[in-house]
Structure 1
Amino acid sequence: MTALLLASVAQAGNPRYAGIVIDADSHEILYAENAEAPRYPASLTKMMTLYLLFEALEGRSLSLDQPLPVSRAAAAMPATKLYLQPGDRIPVETAIESLIVRSANDVAVVVAEALGGSERHFARMMTARAREMGMRDTTFRNASGLPDDAQVTTARDMAVLARRLMLDFPQYYPYFSLQRFTWRGKTYRGHNRLLADYPGADGLKTGFIRASGFNVATSAVRDGRRMLSVVMGGFTAASRDEHMADLLDRGFVRASLSDGAGWLARTAITDERLMPRRAAPMPPPTGGMLAARKADAPAPEAAARPAPEGGGVAPSRDEVVVAAAEADPLRSLIAEQASVAGGGWGVQVGAFRDPGDARRLADRAAARLAAELAEARVAVPLAEGAGVYRARLVDLREGQARSACRRLEAQGMDCMVVSSR
């Protein structure tokens, strides 16, 4: 769609920019730019700190009302913070609230020391868990996201982490919608304006250091469909939020194209790292904010609409241009069974519920490229979980695939470059 194409152009002069939009129900990538380029996570780091804290709660090694001790190292952390003093104690639930709303760096160290003994060891735990999740391009060196040249991630990895928080801990996800909390008689307000300003937004986290620019991970629900997006490297908080709102808007429109019958441009590009690893969540604990909210705020999966079984309608030319952009494809998010006899690349010209329709369209594309791609092979692989067959020419080298897509588009046929690497 035009707006997504314009978003890409608008960010072209920003060397820190990265973005990704995922349909949380179908796990389809609707937009991605620089999504696997290394970036500084800033306070998005605290999503992993919280993930490990939620694991401890689920495993009953901690409870929501359990007080955590404050060390000198934690109290000495720079702002933003709660200005805890050595010897103070802070309840686990307040720690959760302060990490999400206040993004408190002193509290991040309190949690790290409670779970890992030291922040350094906890950072190794964070990195190990990231690897287990498939966040292969992420390394943590601290629990807060404060500047460290070795603490890097990608927009894709942050999207994986955000999705896993929703899937693995639906009983705790409502915390991410908090905009304020009170402790010791003082009310702290957050600065995630999207929660108040974007209809349907219900989490997750913002982050900023000078080296990263303004980052945000956001999930929103509209008409029963959940969208998840990560934007990194914004010039300002306001411009970041405006860009995020635009990406979410366009993502909802793009995802709705799969509700009709017929053509789907980019069907169910599935990554197992975005799927749940638990058979069922633990029952939620009682007490505190969570008990007050659980009746009012359904878990994200409860509100999500199942992925459609039918096909979709033809996308616009601009959508296909975005999908087949010259930027490097997201190699880890395109899980295919392509042959590599001639190369691990191919082109996709459509997807259909009927395999015969898919083969006919792929044959038509092959006929148009017969003079230059005699070695190309027609394939109509089934998109697992989506119930559709993808019309493809495979066994190509990258350059061949990109050239083929350009030629097909020039002849009025929609096309997308795909890779199995």
Structure 2
Amino acid sequence: MRQALSGFVSKSAFPLKTIMILAMAMTFVVADVASSLAAKSAAIVVDAKTGKVLYSANADGRRYPASLTKMMTLYLTFEAMAKGKISRNSPVVFSAHASAEAPTKLGVKPGESVAVETAILSIVTKSANDSATALGEMLGGNETNFARMMTAKARQLGMNGTVFRNANGLPDPGQFTTARDMATLGIALREHFPQYYGYFAQRSFLYGRQRINGHNRLLGRIKGVDGIKTGYTRASGFNLVSSVNDGNRRLVAVVMGGTSGGSRDNQMAGLINTYLPRASTRGGGDLVAKADSNPISALAKVLLPKHDAPTPDEKPVAVAEADTAVADDATVAQGDSEDEDTAEAEAPKLVVPAKKVKTVIVSAPKVATAQVVAAYAEPTPAVDPVSTASVPSGWAIQVASSPKQSEAQAFLDKTTKQAPKVLANASGFTVAFDKDGATYYRARFGGFGSKDAAWKACTALKKKKIECYAVQQ
């Protein structure tokens, strides 16, 4: 730099002091540009009952999905389960390619396998790249073909601004999406697979003797949040899709391109606080069309673009990383671990603050984090097992009520064993409610697409002398 300046000075009429001032000014310009890119995130809030967009900022701008990609991997996994092609206990064999994926991952060795349910749990909590790839290879034969299936499904769901290149979201310049498309996918997951949607509420799970904790810090911290997925690479920034259900209103919100996990979480919390009260208490029915069941016609609808497809129009770059902003995608990709916790180990988690902290929201009303917590925070309960994750939409059946959650859960387990065929596609969960100052727990099974389906299941259970009634979620 100094040699270049000296050479320039020797051939110019400007004094060295003037040149140095100009150089410093250029430095500040670069920093300002990087800062503006970092601030230009994308976000959308959709009323999940009516489909009305309550808030939008750059919602149609192309962005890297990072691990939000795994939402589509899970959609296709749930679809295969619902059709009986695979079950929760089907083995997922890890190829050498899957095992070699970059962290974060489950760490399964080549040739070894885990159950489908284990792979699902590792994706929704740890965001395991190797599990996503292994599922993709199992369902599509190979990851390239599975990516075509993913993109075909995106078109069927109306996600016209999305192209998938892999099953896990690790960097690929030809893989992109929009905040609007991710909201559509979030709504579709809940509408089309309520029997499996409860997986997204999982905050941790046991893998052998290891307790694996999830990345979604809003679960259990912001009242009503029941999923869905976080995502991070250096190219994408910090992404999050959240589903919220307060019993009367439902939202799906997306934030993409956050400069840190903490600021992204606070932005999401602010959006929830601002727009959930504005959502409709009425409405219902599918907002996203059911996907075409014919895989041949589905693939025929999609012609994937070449590998040099346009990348997101603006790539979030933190000011502190401005010196690396000129690196090409290949260079950036080498450092991507897709591990949000490692990327921001020092970042503060969303906690109940002792004083008001400003929430960052792009073009949205300013909301203090303290206000968010006051309105929506609830104590962090014990980690939910899979069977107690709530199913937020559709019809459910209630089979018991107890003052103890453990008793309600035990009744769910007993009922499942008594009527495995009746509840084959249902998901058990507990719901807390207050009565006369005491807390009780309802034992319910969700995943029924209609009132008739729920009552039919109840009739079958009553034949086994199990009391039951249907209720709309």
Matched, 1:159 2:183: yes
Distance 2:81 2:241 in 1: 23
The residue type equivalent to 2:49 in the other structure is D
In structure 1, list runs of 5 or more residues that go unmatched: 1-10, 260-267, 279-287, 304-421
The offset of 1:254, in angstroms, is 2.6
Cα distance, 1:16–1:212 mapped onto 2, change above 3 Å: farther
Q: Distance in 2 between matches of 1:298 and 1:70?
A: 30
Q: 1:150: Cα distance to partner? A: 0.6
Query: Which secondary structure does the structure 2 equivalent of 1:196 belong to?
Result: coil
Q: For residues 272-303 of structure 1, what are the alpha-carbon distances to aligned partners after superposition, in whole Å with 9 as ceiling and x for unaligned?
A: 9933528xxxxxxxxx965x33xx62432459
Q: Using the alignment, how far apart are the partners of 1:137 and 1:273 within structure 2?
A: 21
Give the aligned residue type for 2:89: D
The 1-side partners of 2:163 and 2:130 are apart by 21
Q: Name the counterpart of 1:181.
A: 205
Out of 27, 31, 39, the position equivalent to 2:51 is 27
Residues 96, 22 of structure 1: CA spacing in aligned structure 2 closer, same or farther, 3 A cutoff?
same
CA contact (8 A) 1:206 1:215 kept: yes
SS at match of 1:84: coil
Aligned with residue 170 of structure 2, among 140, 146, 161: 146
Contact 1:220-1:227 within 8 A present in 2 as well: yes
Aligned twin of 1:401: none
* Count of residues in Structure 1 that have an aligned counterpart in Structure 2: 270
CA deviations 1:81-127 (Å, max 9, x no partner) are 01110111110000110010010001011101100111111001100
2:288 counterpart of 1:275: yes
Task: State whether residues 168 and 276 of structure 1, in contact with CA within 8 Å, keep that contact through their aligned partners in structure 2.
Answer: no
Q: What one-letter code is carried by the residue in structure 1 that aligns with 2:393?
A: P
Q: Name 1:354's counterpart in structure 2.
A: none
Q: Distance in 2 between matches of 1:122 and 1:289?
A: 30
Match of 2:140?
116
For 1:197-216, list aligned pairs within 5 A: 197-216=221-240
Matching of residues 316-355 of structure 1 within 5 Å? none
One-letter amino acid of the counterpart of residue 192, structure 1: N
Alignment-derived partner of residue 74 in structure 2: 50
1:24 offset after TM fit, Å?
A: 0.8
| Cα separation, partners in 2 of 1:302 and 1:228, compared to 1, 3 Å | farther
SS of 1:227's partner is strand
1:297 maps to what in 2? 390
SS, match of residue 290 in structure 2: coil
Q: 1:62/1:289 Cα in 2 relative to 1: closer, same or farther (>3 Å)?
A: farther
- Tell me the TM-score normalized by structure 1: 0.61
Deviations 1:217-258 (A, max 9, x none): 0011225211110000011000000000000111113336x8
Q: Quick one: which of 47, 55, 73 aligns to 2:97?
A: 73
Give a deviation string over 1:315-348, Cα, whole Å, max 9, x none. Answer: xxxxxxxxxxxxxxxxxxxxxxxxxxxxxxxxxx
| Contact preservation (8 Å) 2:205, 2:385 | no
Q: Specify which of 223, 229, 232 is matched with residue 253 of structure 2.
A: 229
Q: Name 1:238's counterpart in structure 2.
A: 262
Distance 1:165 1:186, change over 3 A: same
| Mapped contact 1:167–1:276 kept (Cα < 8 A) | no
Paired AA for residue 242 in structure 2? T
Find the counterpart in structure 2 of residue 418 from structure 1.
Answer: none
1:214–1:234 Cα contact (<8 Å) kept = yes
In 2, Cα distance between equivalents of 1:49 and 1:152: 15
Q: CA deviation at 1:157?
A: 0.2
2:110 paired residue number: 86
Amino-acid identity (%)? 47
The answer to whether the 8 Å contact 2:201/2:390 transfers is no
**Runs of at least 5 residues in structure 2 that lack an aligned partner in the other structure:** 1-34, 292-383, 397-473
Q: Deviations over 1:138-189 (max 9, x none)?
A: 0000000000011000000000000000000000000000000111221100
Q: C-alpha separation between the residues in 2 aligned to 1:188 and 1:174?
A: 17
- Aligned residue for 1:362? none
Q: Which of the residues 241, 262, 266 maps onto 1:217?
A: 241
Structure 2: which amino acid aligns with 1:52?
L
CA contact (8 A) 2:65 2:239 kept: yes
- Out of 64, 74, 94, the residue aligned to residue 88 of structure 2 is 64
Q: What amino acid does structure 2 have at the position aligned with 1:277?
A: K
- 2:219 corresponds in structure 1 to 195
- Pair 1:171 & 2:195 matched: yes
Give me the whole-angstrom Cα distance separating, in 2, the residues matched to 1:246 and 1:133: 28
Q: TM-score scaled by structure 2?
A: 0.54
Q: d(CA) in 2 for partners of 1:253 and 1:273? A: 22
Q: What is the rounded CA distance, in whole Å, between the counterparts of 1:243 and 1:213 in structure 2? A: 14
